[in-house]
Amino acid sequence: MGFYVPDNVVTNNDLSAYMDTNDEWIQERTGIQERRWVVPGEDTTSGMGVKAAKEALKNAGLEATDVDFIVFATLSPDYYFPGPGVQVQEALGLDTVGALDVRNQCSGFVYGLSVADQFIKTGMYNTVLVIGSELHSGGLDKSTRGRGVTVIFGDGAGAAVMTASDDDSGVLSTHLHSQGEHAKELALIGPATNRWVDQIIKDNDENDLSYFPYMNGNFVFKHAVTRFPQVIMEALEKNGYQPSDIDLLVPHQANLRIAQFIQRSMKLRDDQVFNNIMKYGNTTAASIPIALSEAVNSGQVKKGDLVCLAAFGSGFTWASALIKW
Ligand code: UT7
């Protein structure tokens, strides 16, 4: 595992300079104390992904040239197209290995991990690099109008190197879901093919907010607290485990209140759930690999542990992975 976050710390009080918000509201509703936002021009989504990937390779004791395939999850690519997977291929100097871009927002890393797992289990690839990276800060509405969304999101990247192994450790199962009827409840609608840039410019409508992320916060929250426990139980039941068997649950860092709700409803102890949203905010596809990296670094994940990853977000998409470390 490896991760990278920009140095620039933005506290809740810093945000009060842009919009009508305050530390008390943000901490009470989300648990977030601060997040990292890139200094414009200093970091990119692909560049942060490369930094996280290099760290992961170093920690795995592998060379970039050992990588057979790249999976890159993000909702905030450098370009509309191509996706950032190919930029990683170039930056790491990999000789024409395939690069797949995953578009599953908060569930992107778990979806990507699932893809990598299948390629490894079928024998197609031996070593797959899975990256989640997001640069949200540049595209957020930093006026009071956007405060319900903007205070939550942070920038950063995390990466995993997955390799084939003969022992009984590894990914036990992955579980992927979607429900497109709620696509617009958490979305950035335009510019895209349903609303081209020239139309946005032509309309010149100051009330058109389609190019900022929109979130129906209450609605998303209610679905999240239902889907997280469901998909975690699905993974446990598939493998004959129960919640008390989990050594560490690493939930997507959407909102500390959501993680606490899951913990209570599944009767998990504090030491069974990892949270770091307080420091980084919600980094979407990067949140799970950043959290898992920190959990590994701090010794909270040890060989033989049962680790559960779970995510929910825009799409709606949700997913889980059960791993024997
Ligand atoms: O990662 C992808 C998945 N995303 C999620 O899972 C997020 C799920 N949703 C949430 O985490 C929460 O809904 C939020 C944290 C986004 C919002 O919390 P909430 O408790 O649902 O607040 P709300 O949207 O119902 O707003 C309550 C009040 C409103 O004022 P009025 O209408 O009651 O006067 C908002 O205008 O809080 C106001 N408000 C704020 N006040 C200060 C909204 N944002 C802010 C803010 N600072 N940043």
Catalytic residue among 104, 175, 252, 255: 252
Is residue 174 lining ligand 1, measured as CB closer than 6 Å? no
Q: How far does residue 230's CA lie from ligand 1's centre (Å)? A: 24
**Could you give all domains of the chain from N- to C-terminal order, each with its CATH number?**
2-163 (3.40.47.10), 170-324 (3.40.47.10)
Mutation test of ligand 1: which of 15, 218, 222 has the most ligand atoms closer than 8 Å to its C-beta?
218
Mean pLDDT across 123-145 = 97
Q: Residue written as tokens 């920190």?
A: 294
What would the pLDDT profile of 88-124 be if each residue is shown by its tens digit?
999 999 999 999 999 999 999 999 999 999 999 999 9
230 vs 319: CA distance, rounded Å: 10
Residue nearest to atom 12 of ligand 1 (CA): 217
Give the largest CA-CA distance in the chain.
60
User: Tokens in use for 236?
Assistant: 């446990």
Is the predicted pLDDT of residue 268 greater than 90, yes or no? yes
Mutation test of ligand 1: which of 221, 261, 312 has the most ligand atoms closer than 8 Å to its C-beta?
221
pTM for this one? 0.97
Residue nearest to atom 48 of ligand 1 (CA): 147
Is the predicted pLDDT of residue 191 greater than 90, yes or no? no
What's the gap between Cα 210 and its chain centre?
Answer: 23
Amino acid 190: pLDDT: 85
Q: Residue written as tokens 């936002």?
A: 37
Mean pLDDT across 79-94 = 97
pLDDT band (50, 70, 90) for residue 195: confident
Q: How far does residue 214's CA lie from ligand 1's centre (Å)? A: 12
| Contact of 132 with 108, CB cutoff 8 Å | yes
User: Tokens in use for 224?
Assistant: 């999240």
Q: Which residues, at least 6 apart from 18, have a Cβ–Cβ distance to it below 8 Å?
A: 142, 143
Which segments of the chain does DSSP mark as H helices, in order?
12-15, 23-30, 45-60, 85-91, 108-121, 147-150, 197-203, 217-238, 256-265, 277-280, 287-297
What would the pLDDT profile of 217-266 be if each residue is shown by its tens digit?
999 999 999 999 999 999 999 999 999 999 999 999 999 999 999 999 99
Is the predicted pLDDT of residue 29 greater than 90, yes or no? yes
- Residue 205, classified by CB atoms within 10 Å of its CB into exposed (0-12), middle (13-18) or buried (19+), is exposed
User: Tokens in use for 251?
Assistant: 């939930």
Q: Is 252 a catalytic residue?
A: yes
297: Cα within 13 Å, side-chain hemisphere: 12
Amino acid 80: pLDDT: 93
Pairing mode of beta strands 127-134, 34-36? unpaired
Question: How far lies 272's CA from each of 102, 103, 119, 286, in Å?
Answer: 29, 29, 30, 21
Is the predicted pLDDT of residue 320 greater than 90, yes or no? yes
Identify whether 316 is preceded by a cis peptide bond (ω within 30 of 0): yes
Residue nearest to atom 38 of ligand 1 (CA): 148
Q: Is 182 a catalytic residue?
A: no
Residue nearest to atom 39 of ligand 1 (CA): 148
With helix as H, strand as E and coil as C, how does 9-65 read?
EEEHHHHCCCCCCCHHHHHHHHCCCEEECCCCCCCCHHHHHHHHHHHHHHHHCCCHH
Three-state secondary-structure class, residue 179: coil
pLDDT band (50, 70, 90) for residue 274: very high
Is residue 282 lining ligand 1, measured as CB closer than 6 Å? yes
Mean pLDDT across 127-154 = 97
130 vs 60: CA distance, rounded Å: 13
